[in-house]
Structure 1
Amino acid sequence: MQLLRYCVGLDISKDSLQVCLSVIDTNGRVVVKGSTKVANKPAAFAQLEPWVSKHCKTDNLPLRYIMESTGVYHEAIAWYLYQKDQAVCILLPNKAKHYLKSLGYKSKNDKIDAQGLARMGLEQQLTLWKPLSKNIYSLRLLTRQHQRFQEWKTQCRNQQHALDYSAIGDDFITKQNAKLLAVYDQQLEALEKAIQKLIEEDTVLKAQVERLTAIKGLAMLSVAVLIAETNGFEGFANQRQLVSYAGYDVIENQSGNRSGKTRISKKGNSRIRRILHLPAFNAVRFGEPSCQALYERVYQKTNTKMKAYVAVQKKLLLLAYGLWRHQTMYDPMHSIQAKRETLSTSKSDQNDKKIVPTSGTTQDQSTVAELSFG
């Protein structure tokens, strides 16, 4: 019986790391080789490597570390291991949670969670983690701070609106709200300048942002959020993965003769969907060709404006991904010309082969159905 690889599961809290080292053999049997606990402090991370080496009896076997993304508490150990040239995998908490449920564990504690993570790392081929670059990490901090101030400003304005129309007002609170709104406006302006300065100082990032802002509806702040929240679209092998990460993937609810409501999952990065909300309106309003055509098709099919605007949001995301990945300048008419060529080719093929549709769905109807989600 031959051993295949080792995996270290890390269940992370604010103060400690629960560690479990497991190994898998050629028969698929997983064996726990040891468990320990170390402090979640950079000074204590040096204890981890000697402990792992002590329990890895077989040399030259692959070793990887797996953990959940628990706020910011996992970042220090993840960066430490990455700088030590260790293979690191970081999972979303809901993915690890569902896997642990599938194992049938009735109890839950840090030790069990660490064992489950180690087992998951052995049984599945997980994507290795790659940290954000320094500039993109700083950009993410700035854009998230901008979102927080924008939310506080909206909350303050709503509070003042309610106070203005209430039966009894209060001059003191009104003055406080006015001062807070002035502070929020000042800080939002400062954050936008800091974001612009960071982009201007990075020549590569600046060139990419200029490509993306050529799309009508996408401004500098919107593009900055997309770059920061996707790590410069790093780690996405295809469009489907990006759509799922943003929560735009479609969920069906059908069983037998029952056909429920089809909707987007919204199980993804909500900041991406939030920042694309207004750009979708602007893209349609200012006549971005592909977005406007998509909006009209979906609205004609569903008779629901919001569904059409959500389809435009997804379209903007995929346009940005394509321009970033291929590093090409934006051509507003490219997608429409490609679709026209595809339609003309399919129609000519049908005429040559004299194909008669066997169902009630026409070629135009099926094309609209395929393009309704961009």
Structure 2
Amino acid sequence: MAKRTTICAGIDTGKRKLDVALDGSSEQLQIDNTAEGYEVLLDWLRRHRIKRIGIEASGGYEQAVVAELRRKGIVVVVFQPAQVRAYAKFHLQRAKNDRIDAALIAACTAAVRKIHTPPDARLLPFAEHLTMIDQIGEDIALLKNRLETCRNARIQQVWKKDISRLARRERIEFKALVAAIREHRDLAERLDLIYSVSGAGLPTAVAILVRMPEIGQLTREQAAALAGLAPYDDDSGKHVGVRRINGGRERLRRALYTAALPASFRWNPQLITLYKRLIAAGKGHKRALIACARKLLIFVNAVVARGIPWDHERPATALLQAG
């Protein structure tokens, strides 16, 4: 009996258009990146008996079609741009346009051997809300920089009013986001577990919950890699390079790194000890903080995996062994 193979498709995402290709076929489709276009796409996929489709993350323009395809029961593989570029480089493919990219993504999709469970769809609007809050914080930081270099009293007052207005908006939006999360009992329980870890303040806990849905289901190495906090070797032959972090989820990494400073100086005894030990060993401040941020995430992952809040009196080694 012949082995059945899954027919795969790929989507190249644009702001207004989607280019779709079948793996191993010259047949392609172009549709509008709208709800009406998705209906055309779904009909086309049904006719070709497509069960798996790949798409490249594209600044959020892919999110609506991904949500609709998953809602209809189609397996969707979301690739990071670096993955698609690496696949093209491996196959020595240099030509690039929307149709070629769609076919390339289809080939990438067919090459995938392990399909991961899609993230909780409830977290998508929370992630968008959290990004808005992050952007408000970035705007505040920009205005504060302008204020420091401004010598005009009237303009200083303008910047101060804008900072105050944005800070108030940031507090309101964060409070609304937490309230929305707490409407879901399981998410509220997970948030409380994360928040129980010393050094993981509520903003950090929200960032981990929303930006790492896999928390508690990962090994410590996987969690660190997804957050972009895993140190990678740079060795070749007799050359021994400096280990550096790379990749990962940028906004999550930033939230953890920001939390690591107060956590390793005041709030978490284990991180305070770790920071002092690394500094005494000659590690720089930044490298020590990155290590503390990674350890903080490992603690959170273990707490969520156990389903038991952080015990301030329990040694961290016992926690990690239990997790």
Shorter-chain TM-score above 0.5: yes
Q: Is residue 242 of structure 1 aligned with residue 223 of structure 2?
A: yes
Q: Do 1:89 and 1:129's aligned partners in 2 also have CA atoms closer than 8 Å? A: no
Which residue pairs with 2:285 in the alignment? 305
Deviation at 1:128, TM superposition (A): 4.1
Q: Deviations over 1:135-166 (max 9, x none)?
A: x3333233222211111111111111111xxx
Report the counterpart of residue 161 of structure 2 in structure 1: 179
- 1:233-312 correspondence to structure 2 within 5 Å: 233=215, 237-265=218-246, 267-286=247-266, 288-312=268-292
Work out which of the residue numbers 39, 47, 53 in structure 1 matches 2:32. Answer: 39
Q: Using CA pairs below 8 Å that are at least 6 residues apart, which structure has the higher relative contact order?
A: 2
The one-letter code matched in structure 2 to 1:240 is E
Letter in 1 for 2:222: Q
Unaligned runs of 5+ in 1: 23-30, 57-61, 164-168, 342-374
Indicate whether 1:48 and 2:68 are aligned.
no
**1:202 matches 2:202:** no
Q: Please report the RMSD computed on the Cα atoms of aligned residues, expressed in angstroms.
A: 2.4
In structure 2, which of residues 48, 57, 81 is the aligned counterpart of residue 93 of structure 1? 81
- AA of the residue aligned to 1:241: Q
Aligned to 1:370: none
Q: 1:278 to 1:106 in 2, by over 3 A?
A: closer
Contact persistence 2:261–2:289 (CA under 8 A): yes
Instruction: Indicate whether 1:155 and 2:142 are aligned.
Output: yes
| Residue equivalent to 2:99 | 111
Q: Percent identity?
A: 21
Q: Does the aligned pair in 2 maintain the 1:88–1:129 contact within 8 Å?
A: no
Offset at residue 259 of structure 1 (A)? 2.3
Preserved CA contact (<8 Å) 1:290 1:332: no
> Which of structures 1 and 2 has the bigger CA Rg?
1
Superposition deviation, residue 241 in structure 1: 2.2
Q: CA deviation at 1:85?
A: 0.8
What residue identity is the alignment partner of 1:329? P
1:74-96 residue CA offsets vs partner (Å, 9 max, x unmatched): 11211111111111111111111
Amino acid of the structure 2 residue aligned with 1:305: H
Aligned match of 1:359: none
* Range with greater deviation from structure 2 (152-161 or 121-130): 121-130
In 1, the alpha carbon distance for the partners of 2:174 and 2:291 equals 28
1:143 aligned partner, one-letter code: L
CA distance in structure 2 between the partners assigned to 1:129 and 1:336 by the alignment: 30
State the shift of 1:189 in Å.
1.9
Render the CA deviation track for 1:43-100: whole Å, top value 9, x for unaligned. 12222233334445xxxxx731110111221112111111111111111111111111
8 Å contact 1:33–1:55 — kept in the other structure?
no
Q: Counterpart of 1:331 in structure 2: which amino acid?
A: D
**Residues 260 and 327 of structure 1, relative CA distance in 2, 3 Å threshold:** same
Partners in 1 of 2:60 and 2:283 — Cα distance? 43
Gap regions ≥5 residues in structure 2: none
Match of 1:219 among 201, 204, 207: 201
Amino acid at match of 2:18: L
Residue 366 of structure 1 corresponds to which residue in structure 2? none
Secondary structure of 1:19's counterpart equals strand
Q: Structure 2 CA distance, aligned partners of 1:311 and 1:45?
A: 45
SS of the residue aligned with 2:27? strand
AA matched with 2:19? Q
Asked if the contact 1:79–1:131 (Cα under 8 Å) also holds between the matched residues in 2, the reply is no
- Mapped partners of 2:288, 2:142: distance in 1: 28
Gap change, CA 1:335 and 1:109, over 3 Å in 2: farther
Specify whether residues 63 and 291 from structure 1 end up closer, same or farther in structure 2 by C-alpha distance, changes over 3 A only.
Answer: same
1:141 correspondence with 2:128: yes
Secondary structure in 2 matching 1:215 = coil
Q: TM-score, normalised by structure 2?
A: 0.90
CA contact (8 A) 2:227 2:252 kept: yes
What one-letter code is carried by the residue in structure 1 that aligns with 2:111? E
Distance 1:258 1:206, change over 3 A: same
Q: What SS does the aligned partner of 2:106 have?
A: helix
C-alpha distance 100-175 of structure 1, shift in aligned 2 (>3 A): same
Q: Return the offset for 1:336.
A: 4.0
**Residue 188 of structure 1, aligned match among 170, 178, 197:** 170
The answer to whether the aligner puts 1:80 opposite 2:68 as a matched pair is yes
Could you tell me how far apart the structure 1 residues matched to 2:121 and 2:191 are? 16
